Amino acid sequence: MDKLLNPKCLFRSGVIQGIAFLVVICLYGLFFIYPSYRSVYRIQQAIVEQTTKNERLKVLYPVFVRSKILEQIPFEHRLPFPDRVRIGRGAISTLPGKIINIAEHNKLLLFESDFDINSLKNDSSIISMTIKLKGNLFDFRRFLIDMIAFEFFDSVENLSISSHEGPIKKFTLNLNIKIKKNGHE
């Protein structure tokens, strides 16, 4: 009994019990508290992600509904397109002048207009033409509508729009124009 009341023994057993208690507390925290803390952190991240997704959906859902409504409406073009005819080979030289007039009328700067020489063969029925313009996008839209209104217009082969200076854009347009085949329709 004397040995149990010895201060050195009491101190040593107290230290051992204290260390054992701290180890048990650390293990408890490591295996029970830390995983629950990580799961709370994951839940907070999921809440933030879901909130962000819901905010995006609030913006996109009305657009989606409107697109579905527009999808149900039958489309009828209302532009007064003339019947398509072929232009005579002799009148091909007047095309650049007509295109310049349309570009000026629509406030666009025409800086290049070239015919594809390979498409001017005797047996070809379509001529390809490259047009390069500068101007505002909405003016270019009106220019395209005026070009499509030509009775000898066939199709747009290629269209590219590149940024130039602020609202001014640079447009490159390849057109196909119906021509008479060797002077025949």
SS3 label, residue 164: strand
User: Cα-atom radius of gyration of the chain, to the nearest Å?
Assistant: 39
d(CA 59, CA 68): 15
Q: Which two tokens stand for residue 84?
A: 């398509």
CB 179 within 8 A of CB 89: yes
Write out 24-38 in H/E/C secondary structure. HHHHHHHHHHHHHHH
Consecutive 10-residue averages of pLDDT for the chain (185 residues): 63 84 84 75 88 86 84 71 72 84 90 78 77 86 85 80 76 75 50
- Given a contact cutoff of 8 angstroms between Cβ atoms, the answer to whether 173 and 131 are in contact is yes
Beta partners for residue 114, in sequence order: 130
User: In this predicted structure, what is the pLDDT of residue 138?
Assistant: 83
For residue 174, give every residue at least 6 positions away whose Cβ sits within 8 Å of its Cβ, in sequence order, or none. 128, 129, 130, 131, 156, 157, 158, 159
Cβ–Cβ under 8 Å, residues 137 and 169: yes
* Spatial CB neighbours of 120, under 8 Å, sequence gap ≥ 6: 92, 127
pLDDT, residue 185, reads 47
pLDDT, position 104: 92
Counting every residue written for the chain, the total comes to 185
Q: Which of 88, 94, 154, 92 is nearest to 117 (CA)?
A: 92
CB 125 within 8 A of CB 177: no
- Measured CA to CA, the distance from residue 114 to residue 18 in angstroms comes to 93
